[in-house]
Structure 1
Amino acid sequence: MRKVAIIPLRSGSKGIKNKNRKKILGRPLFTWTLAAAIESKLDHVYVFTDDQKVIDFINKDYGWTEKVSVVERSTESASDTASTEMAMLELAEKINYDFTHYFLLQATSPLTTAADIDKAIEVLEQGADSVISVVKTHRFIWKSNGESINYDYLNRPRRQDFDGLLIENGSIYGCSKAVFTKTKNRLGGKIQVMEMPEDTLTEIDEPTDLILIEQLLRKRLLTYKKPVKAIKYLVLDVDGVFTDATAAYDKNGELSKQFSLFDGMGLEILREHHVEPIIMTSENSELVKRRMEKLQINKCFLGVKDKFAFLNNLIKELNVNRNELAYLGDDINDLANILSVGWGACPLNAASPVRNAADIKLTTYGGKGAIREFVEFIIGFNSRI
């Protein structure tokens, strides 16, 4: 089987301008679905878009995985009147129908997980021709003429006695190549439904949906950290953590950053207690590279924009869980990781959304001993486990 997925994105959005790039917990909306697809058992994921900023972002930031390609879609298939099937057909032709199973994933359903995608794959592997994700709801449905649809209002059932009904949540669709080439549609043949959790019924269509989705994602991320286990790795941002978030520049570029020797000794002590530091920064700085070489930190990752997806991939290589990591960051691109690791911390000078989310709100500034303070906390915590 060759299982591929399309994530179609349009640059034009009438309801919410630049919807697919809106930040949710510090990450562009589309990256939540993309990260789940990367983690899943899909063989390849195609982001199909006419948005040049998305194209540049993916080409620059996802070199660490071979599972993702970004393909430019035509103006016709990205128009307001074009159907999603038109985009699916266009991509299928561009890749010469190089798949046995074709999945449609929606960026507006960011609560989709890798486990959900794998479940849909399993449905097709077990013989269904196509699969559609649904949510069971116990809502009572009515027609506009006052006629009840799914229950007898004279004998109103209790919730526990009511089977409810299944509703498309717009998250995952999948079909065999044979079905797609025959029907030119995301569904056909023997269709099987696949249930997902009730909160995944929420899709992003209106600005208020962004607020609700962010709260649902926050709640989900917090479940990853329990129970907190002994910390094996400390993941560190650089600017605002190792430094005071300032740098000197001239016309040739970055001249200098200031690093605390006090923090450097703290990381040496940390390693003596069998906790390894990992550097993860969105900047691609030669000065940072040299400083980490001086500190003999081997796991130093520069130019990482989607830190959450990158860390998901890294923890598989390290064979650890998120609750065995600590994370120290200061800005919103650190937010998803701070919420989801065993201990998430921030320095005193962190952005307010980060300070509101962090488990540990340090009393020292980045570049002024924040790392050392957190190191001492981790050593103390591990000694009690």
Structure 2
Amino acid sequence: MHELRLPPPLHRHGSRGPPHGGTCIGRGPATRRRGGSMIRTVAIVPARGGSKGIVGKNLVRVAGIPLVVRSVLHAQAARTIDLTVVSTDDPRIAAVAARAGARVIERPASLSGDTASTESAIAHALEVLAGEDIRPETIVLLQCTSPFRTAGQIDGAVEHFHATGADGVFSAVPFHGFVWTRAPEGGVRPATYDPARRPRRQEIDGVYLETGSFYVFSRAGFERSGSRMSGRLEPFEVPPEDAVEIDTPEDLAYARHLAARRREPGMLFGVDPRLLVLDVDGTLTDAAMFYGETGEELKRFHTRDGAGIARFRASGGKVALLTGERSNAARLRGEKLRVDDIVLGSRDKAADIQAIQKRLGVSPEHTVAMGDDVLDLPMAPHAAAFVAPADAHPDVLAAADLVTTARGGHGAVRELVDLLLGPGWKPARR
């Protein structure tokens, strides 16, 4: 498991600016890596701020981790990578990537539009690094839109690149489908098999689907061809479950669905939690309601959730309950747990979460909200992260930055607190 280590505060390099007006932001000139060895292999992560399909796509979270950070963490965990570079035109992406430990190269506007190619970002990054006398032999391109990969896959691909003498290696999955392509004379023609001798699907061999997750190539080959893929190429097989590429909201929902079943390091990266705002029914309870013979309302709460709230408050954080129900049971539970604020009967959770933040003196970037139903979604824009229990409404699961493995009322809040705090965690100084 990769342990995340944050770099010291950012600074810009001195008087000699890099080519094309690009700027490196980081921890000083990186001519050598740990132990004094030369930088031979650089991972480049292109991350534009603009996106048509999903607004701010490279900063959306899967399993609580921004997509750009996922690629940075994968590269940092790989033993073959000497330096990780993020190329971006977006100051928000730059700040998040730098905090994750990447060297950030500011991409000029001329290379940041919808028509700008990935190759242009690679060329610019290499030119900026060359201005600092950093000329790596091998380049590993990591695409933010592929959230699932491992450091072992990166290392394996780099080793395969050197062992085979190929001009390039790319991530791929074996493909056993019956593929047809348009024929110039009209109609279609088979691309992967002979219809006259139709094989069994598993007998279609030697066909690969490019996943777009990573590419390995030499700097010299790239500068000669201007392309990440030229000459003799070799596929590096990855598991089909890792071949997810996020281009549409549906892709993002599917990736989050898969991620909810995986446990990864760095969850909720970059969130400095000082305030938890929790829905009650379906989050602190299992959404069931019981009524006594005299009409009194009864709810079932989980003691582990209570212990999680107590742990968060003991660490210096604040907790608020925000529910649409006018529930005496919720009020009594909140008072027993000594939460810092309780709002009952909410009809506008967006306004109410902002009012809570104002009363408690905590800004949205230090707030984590949790809810299970669509009425809780208005809290999401006013929190650094929005979390859902495992049995939340499908629309909530699709929108959540993180989905717990526990169901509402069955330890989901405790699971969230443990992820936020971790072993030995202490809140930032107030």
For normalisation by structure 2, the TM-score amounts to: 0.53
Counterpart contact for 1:140–1:151, Cα < 8 Å: yes
* The one of 337, 358, 375 aligned to 2:406: 358
* The one of 2, 12, 30 aligned to 2:68: 30
Equivalent residue number for residue 250 of structure 2: 208
The answer to whether the aligner puts 1:83 opposite 2:125 as a matched pair is no
Gaps of 5+ in 2: 1-38, 266-272, 277-308, 321-335, 339-364, 368-382, 391-399, 419-430
What does the per-residue CA deviation read over 1:84-107, in whole Å, with 9 as the maximum and x for residues that have no partner?
Answer: 111100010000052110111100
The answer to whether the aligner puts 1:123 opposite 2:165 as a matched pair is no
Residue 246 and residue 76 in structure 1: after superposition, are their counterparts in 2 closer, same or farther (change >3 A)?
Answer: same
What does the per-residue CA deviation read over 1:271-300, in whole Å, with 9 as the maximum and x for residues that have no partner?
Answer: xxxxxxxxxxxxxxxxxxxxxxxxxxxxxx
Equivalent residue number for residue 272 of structure 1: none
* Shift of residue 246, structure 1, vs aligned partner: 3.9
What does the per-residue CA deviation read over 1:317-340, in whole Å, with 9 as the maximum and x for residues that have no partner?
Answer: xxxxxxxxxxxxxx996979x99x
2-side partners of 1:82 and 1:356: how far apart? Answer: 38
* Shift of residue 154, structure 1, vs aligned partner: 4.2
Equivalent residue number for residue 13 of structure 1: 51
Equivalent residue number for residue 99 of structure 1: 136
| Identity in percent | 33
Q: Which amino acid aligns with 2:78?
A: S
Report the 3-state secondary structure (helix = DSSP H, G, I; strand = E; otherwise coil) of the residue aligned with 2:216: strand
Q: Which has the larger radius of gyration?
A: 2
Q: Which amino acid aligns with 1:52?
A: P
2-side partners of 1:365 and 1:190: how far apart? Answer: 52
Report the 3-state secondary structure (helix = DSSP H, G, I; strand = E; otherwise coil) of the residue aligned with 2:111: coil
Aligned pairs, number: 263
Report the 3-state secondary structure (helix = DSSP H, G, I; strand = E; otherwise coil) of the residue aligned with 1:188: coil
Q: How does 1:33-112 map to 2 (within 5 A)?
A: 33-41=71-79, 42-59=81-98, 61-62=99-100, 65=101, 68-96=102-130, 97-112=134-149
Equivalent residue number for residue 194 of structure 1: 236
1-side partners of 2:149 and 2:387: how far apart? Answer: 19
Counterpart contact for 2:176–2:202, Cα < 8 Å: no
* Shift of residue 3, structure 1, vs aligned partner: 0.7
Counterpart contact for 1:129–1:190, Cα < 8 Å: yes
* Shift of residue 134, structure 1, vs aligned partner: 1.3
Counterpart contact for 1:46–1:71, Cα < 8 Å: yes
1-side partners of 2:403 and 2:384: how far apart? Answer: 10
* Shift of residue 6, structure 1, vs aligned partner: 0.8
What does the per-residue CA deviation read over 1:1-45, in whole Å, with 9 as the maximum and x for residues that have no partner?
Answer: 611011001111112111111222222222222211111121111
Q: Which amino acid aligns with 1:194?
A: F
Counterpart contact for 1:25–1:335, Cα < 8 Å: no
Residue 238 and residue 76 in structure 1: after superposition, are their counterparts in 2 closer, same or farther (change >3 A)?
Answer: closer
Equivalent residue number for residue 178 of structure 1: 220
* The one of 208, 212, 231 aligned to 1:166: 208
Counterpart contact for 2:366–2:384, Cα < 8 Å: no
Q: How does 1:217-256 map to 2 (within 5 A)?
A: 217-221=259-263, 239-240=275-276, 241=309, 242-243=312-313, 245-246=318-319
Counterpart contact for 2:211–2:245, Cα < 8 Å: yes
2-side partners of 1:362 and 1:21: how far apart? Answer: 30
Residue 354 and residue 37 in structure 1: after superposition, are their counterparts in 2 closer, same or farther (change >3 A)?
Answer: closer
Q: Which amino acid aligns with 2:207?
A: L
* Shift of residue 204, structure 1, vs aligned partner: 1.0
Report the 3-state secondary structure (helix = DSSP H, G, I; strand = E; otherwise coil) of the residue aligned with 1:13: coil
Residue 364 and residue 111 in structure 1: after superposition, are their counterparts in 2 closer, same or farther (change >3 A)?
Answer: closer
Counterpart contact for 1:130–1:190, Cα < 8 Å: yes
What does the per-residue CA deviation read over 1:115-174, in whole Å, with 9 as the maximum and x for residues that have no partner?
Answer: 111111111232333211111111110123232221233443223333261021111111
Q: Which amino acid aligns with 1:74?
A: P
Residue 113 and residue 355 in structure 1: after superposition, are their counterparts in 2 closer, same or farther (change >3 A)?
Answer: closer
Residue 239 and residue 137 in structure 1: after superposition, are their counterparts in 2 closer, same or farther (change >3 A)?
Answer: same
Counterpart contact for 1:33–1:110, Cα < 8 Å: yes
2-side partners of 1:364 and 1:24: how far apart? Answer: 18
Counterpart contact for 1:5–1:102, Cα < 8 Å: yes
Counterpart contact for 1:13–1:19, Cα < 8 Å: yes
1-side partners of 2:413 and 2:52: how far apart? Answer: 42
Residue 362 and residue 168 in structure 1: after superposition, are their counterparts in 2 closer, same or farther (change >3 A)?
Answer: closer
For normalisation by structure 1, the TM-score amounts to: 0.59
Counterpart contact for 2:42–2:85, Cα < 8 Å: yes
Gaps of 5+ in 1: 225-236, 248-259, 263-302, 306-330, 340-351, 372-385
2-side partners of 1:335 and 1:365: how far apart? Answer: 9
2-side partners of 1:172 and 1:365: how far apart? Answer: 36
- Coordinate RMSD, CA, aligned: 3.8
Counterpart contact for 2:87–2:106, Cα < 8 Å: yes
